[in-house]
Amino acid sequence: MSYLIGAWDWTAHNLLSLLNLTAFVFSVVVLWKTMKAAERQTERTSKPVICLMRKNWNPSDVELLEPQLNADALVPFQIKNVGNGTALEVHWRFKTESDEELIHGMIPYVRAGHSMNTGMNANQLGMVQGVVRKFECEYLSLSRDKYRSTIKIENLKLVTFEEKKLS
């Protein structure tokens, strides 16, 4: 009889341990999902986006009617963070159409709404009518997500812009 009582205690103890373990695992999963949702929310409100720009650009009426993105890439080239979060470890490069790297640089960070001069001009990059260049920029957000912005420059105009998350 005492053997049955001992077996019952052992089974009840193991069942209680199993229930505690299940509750613990469930709590960890819920906490992890909540943390990931908070990270996604933070990323949406503080995401950097790096692009090229120049100061004092006033497009002509003809340029406004052209079916491309009308933002001249004239000297000096500047990197601007048009997002709403700081970009960290900003690695930028200009490439030829065949992806041969012409020049690269690194900036530790670019705050939202701020710009940095690359020190490069169109002559240094061999940009003339008919020549295509690419600008690539990889950077991290505050949550350490990695992004890449790619801009195609054709006939001294920014004709395409693509930004994607890498990690």
Please report the DSSP string for 128-149 in residue order.
Answer: -TT-EEEEEEEEE-TT--EEEE
At residue 69 the predicted structure's pLDDT band, cuts being 50, 70 and 90, is very low
- So what's the pLDDT on residue 43? 60
Work out the number of other CB atoms within 10 angstroms of the CB of residue 27. Answer: 10
Mean pLDDT of 138-144: 91
pLDDT above 90: residue 82: yes
- So what's the pLDDT on residue 83? 92
| Domain boundaries along the sequence of the chain | 1-45, 47-165
**Greater confidence, 83 or 34?**
83
- So what's the pLDDT on residue 139? 97
Count Cβ neighbours within 10 Å for each residue of 83-119 and write b for 16 or more, e otherwise. Answer: bebbbbebebebbeeeeeeeeeeebebbebeebbebe
The model's pTM:
0.65
Mean pLDDT of the chain: 80
- Looking at domain 47-165, its CATH class is mainly beta
- For residue 76, cis peptide bond before it (omega within 30 degrees of 0): yes
